[in-house]
Amino acid sequence: MPKQTEFSDDLLELKAALRKNLDAMGAIAARMVVLKQFREAVLPHLPPSAAMAALKAFEWSLEESLPIAADFASLPAYSDAFLEEAAATRMAILRQQAHPKL
């Protein structure tokens, strides 16, 4: 019987760790949805000069975040998502600068 209890304890610990990770991923996903919606809602209201200022500030902030990104460099999913979101945001700002909605 001790082996079954030990196996059950290990399984419970694994389930708890998975739940914690799923909760963390859910929180991150919710934040990403809000940030994407914010980007889509705000950018159309920026005049071209403000869009360019936002792009410069964004580029600077990306440089500031590189040490954090380096911490996760061994995780391809992080690197892919980082680059994808940076490119999408950059392109959204550039589109706004090129074609402002009045």
pTM of this structure: 0.70
Q: How far is CA 24 from CA 12, 21, 30, 85, in A?
A: 18, 5, 10, 19
Q: Which residues contact 96 (CB under 8 A, 6 or more apart)?
A: 43, 44, 46, 48, 51
Q: Is the pLDDT of residue 102 over 60?
A: no
DSSP state letter for 75: -
Identify the residue with better confidence: 46 or 99.
46
For residues 42-53, give the mean pLDDT.
Answer: 90
Q: Is residue 31 very low, low, confident or very high in pLDDT (cuts 50, 70, 90)?
A: very high
Q: Is residue 27 very low, low, confident or very high in pLDDT (cuts 50, 70, 90)?
A: very high
Query: Phi and psi for 100 in degrees, rounded to 5?
Result: -65, 145
Q: Is the pLDDT of residue 47 over 60?
A: yes
CA distance 47 to 99: 9
